[in-house]
Amino acid sequence: MSLVPSPSQTVGPFFSLGLAMESPGGCLASPCGKSERLKLICTIFDGDAVPVNDAMIEVWQANDEGKYNHPEDAQQKSTDPRFKGFGRLHSDENGVCIFETIKPGRVPGWDDTFQAPHLNLSVFARGILKRLATRVYFADDPANAEDPVLALVPEGRRDTLMAHADPQESAVWRFEIHLCGDHETVFFDC
């Protein structure tokens, strides 16, 4: 008897097959929306700091008032029909995905706290059998100091969850995802 891994024990690279024109794509908000628009450029790297060109990233976020576009979000806040709150893209040959969205509002935490503005990310890639869940916070946002989830992350690792404003382009934020290695992104159990 031979113990050779079968194809069902690995994942990818096939994500672009499921990303047809009807998929959510990278535009989470209509250009004519009322909220603060931004572009989030995500780059994904493997343990050798080589860009991963066949990963898939999903983004899920609240609107600018802190309400998710989901029936289970029972907050009495308005929703904007031009805002989907969900997007999915595969990384290009440089390991890059570009999402066009809005800056999210603060969502409720526990014990009457509020979380800092953030986006929830899921990462799928070859060799990863279960999605990797992480968050993207905005560097230098004062609300980060009060975020109950971010407070659970050791201070020396919090920067792995920060998107940084591009100094050359207005309303552009850059976020790096490192799957492993010295700069590994913090991933959460879900």
Question: CATH code at 165?
Answer: 2.60.130.10
87 within a domain of the structure (yes/no): yes
The DSSP H or E segment spanning 43 is strand 37-45
What are the b/e assignments for 80-99, b being 16+ CB within 10 Å? beebbbbbbbbbeeebbbeb
171 within a domain of the structure (yes/no): yes
Tell me the helix, strand and coil percentages in the chain, rounded to 5. 10, 30, 55
- Asked whether residue 30 carries a pLDDT value surpassing 50, the answer given is yes
- Asked whether residue 10 carries a pLDDT value surpassing 80, the answer given is no
15 within a domain of the structure (yes/no): no
Averaged pLDDT for residues 115-144 = 94
How far, rounded to the nearest angstrom, does the alpha carbon of residue 13 sit from its chain's CA centroid? 20
Q: Which residues, in sequence order, are bridge partners of residue 28? A: none
Order of all β-strands in the sheet with 56-61: 86-90, 56-61, 118-124, 132-138, 162-165, 172-178, 37-45, 96-102
pTM confidence score? 0.86
Contact 55, 90 (CB under 8 A): yes
- Asked whether residue 171 carries a pLDDT value surpassing 90, the answer given is yes
Residue range(s) defining the domain that contains residue 143: 26-178
Q: Considering only CA atoms, which of 180, 182, 161 is closest in space to residue 46?
A: 180
Quick one: tokens of 134?
A: 């992480």
Averaged pLDDT for residues 53-72 = 88
Identify the weakest region by mean pLDDT among 59-73, 82-96, 167-181: 59-73
Cα(190)–Cα(188) distance, integer angstroms = 6
185 within a domain of the structure (yes/no): no
Averaged pLDDT for residues 2-12 = 51
| Domain count for the chain | 1
* Whole-number pLDDT of residue 93: 95
44 within a domain of the structure (yes/no): yes
**pLDDT tier for residue 11 given thresholds of 50, 70 and 90:** low
For residue 47, the one-letter residue type is G
Averaged pLDDT for residues 52-74 = 87
56 within a domain of the structure (yes/no): yes
* Whole-number pLDDT of residue 33: 62
* Whole-number pLDDT of residue 25: 75
Q: Which residue has the higher pLDDT, 72 or 88?
A: 88
* Whole-number pLDDT of residue 20: 46
47 within a domain of the structure (yes/no): yes
* Whole-number pLDDT of residue 12: 52
